[in-house]
A and B are shown apart, each in its own frame.
Chain A
């Protein structure tokens, strides 16, 4: 008789803790998603209403999303961001995939020194080296453009090399060995055997690079702030409200538009993305 009672009690406690757990979860979820909801709602208000204390739009001003392209050089901002993020990502892949592969799989004298240098370069605040780098770009007359943020990726990006190396380490060595026995050259091994198997890792590195460039504020502030034509969207958004007073509904509409590409990419590549984050911190 005692066993079933204990069991029922345990089950009752389970249900109670399930309820408690979900009350906490739902409350937190409202707090975490609330800001996004409020931003979207405000972006659909008339500007007069956005200046009053209110949450639900009285009239749904979908036209804000048209106005925004007319009043703000938004198309150019987006174009600059897409240009910056796409080229930076492509250049990073060309230079960093081979470097990461060699660091993960080839033993040679000096490998440890290079690896440690990459870790330090990845973790050190960029402000430490910013001044001499800026001086170099100004001597090349490339300040005032986004090129100082794009071109260095042709010579490898430390974080991407680190992430890709971590991924290459997880691929069993036997595949490459088998390909070599079949007469594959070293380039063939990388391009036909390893790269296809490392596709999730390469995708994660590419997404991180794209996001970081898309979201970058410090870089454009340093190199492009005095040339409005070169502004990417994150920088433009940061200066917009300062320049245009209290136009909150339009500001929120731009904010929503800046978020959309990132969220869309995330939903298409969620698994790859989470794997990439985990790889930098836990595994290895």
Chain B
């Protein structure tokens, strides 16, 4: 595995050096990634409750998943909703703010910090803050809406509004994507805009023919990492349900709260958590994990083909 090629001017490094440097990371990949991936597939064909050893039951878990599970499609549907709505909304907002900031000359550092700052807020703190700000009875948001004569909705307490409320939170913390877009926009060579102007391009034409092609790698990166993040959407939804329902519970108790209100925030990964760690149906939860792996792997392949930083060639 670690045979060296002697390449020109670089000195030959001893094998034990590579092994010592990389050994722990390779061990980590095997123990915490390769083995669990294989074991998940194995467990998915068993009935397993952590107390007695796994018992082989063939495809029964998958049969249950696709035909009988009462909530898995509700959960998958909610996750899909976040993939389809949350990801584009966050990217468009970040892109809009980045376009605005790239034109600002004076105090640019100040404005960047202002729009980046919310992205720093720990996600649990952000959710707790939003559930309070949007709480229907006494929350400041509905109070402010009222002064404009608008009757605010029930936000996190209404199944129709709970997901859009989390989208508002997602917009608030778009700073991490915005910074990447901003760096991409600042990297567009100024000469290309000047050349376009000389050719008589209008400003929308410059945006379409100069800016967009130049930042498309960043855009692909943001879309695919955004989708992968949305597929595992967990913390924000789980904390929103816990705080908005005003109930506490751990382990089995938490299962009753997740999804509040009315399963509207129950995402796929939360359902996996409920079945695996709330009910200790580890075999069945493994089948859910394998399905998640298949879907995530499809997006991973796209990402690794299209994003240069994720291809190994440049290590030379």
Contacts and interface: CB of A to CB of B under 8 A. Distances in A.
Given A109-B2, A124-B300, A258-B125, 13 more contacts: A98-B20, A108-B18, A127-B234, A127-B289, A128-B289, A131-B289, A154-B24, A155-B28, A156-B25, A242-B249, A255-B129, A258-B122, A263-B120
Contact of B29 (A117, A177, A187): A117
Nearest to A119: B310
Contact of B3 (A109, A128, A169, A283): A109
Contacts of B151: none
Interface stretch (A5-13, A27-35, A67-75, A198-206): A27-35
18 contacts: A25-B100, A42-B132, A53-B143, A54-B138, A95-B25, A107-B4, A125-B269, A128-B37, A130-B272, A131-B43, A135-B39, A161-B25, A217-B239, A238-B242, A241-B242, A248-B132, A255-B129, A258-B122
Contact of A282 (B2, B113, B180): B180
Interface in A209-225: 211, 214-215, 217-218, 221-222, 225
Interface in B257-301: 257, 269, 272-273, 276-277, 282, 285-286, 289-290, 292-293, 296-297, 300
Interface of B: 1-5, 7, 9-11, 13-14, 17-18, 20-22, 24-29, 31-37, 39-40, 43, 50, 97, 100, 103-104, 111, 113-118, 120-125, 127-130, 132-133, 137-140, 142-143, 172, 176, 179-180, 183-184, 187, 217-218, 221-222, 225, 228, 231-232, 234-235, 238-239, 242-243, 245-251, 254, 257, 269, 272-273, 276-277, 282, 285-286, 289-290, 292-293, 296-297, 300, 303-304, 308-310, 312, 314-316
Given A225-B251, A234-B125, A263-B120, A123 B1 contact: no
B124 A123 contact: no
A192 interface: no
Contacts of B9: 177
Contacts of B309: 166, 280-281, 283-284
A103 to B, nearest CB: 6
The size class of the interface chain A forms with chain B is 35 or more
Contacts of A158: 29, 33
A115 B114 CA distance: 36
A114 B27 CA distance: 11
Nearest to B4: A108
Given A169-B314, A278-B183, A131 B286 contact: yes
A245 interface: yes
B250 A225 contact: yes
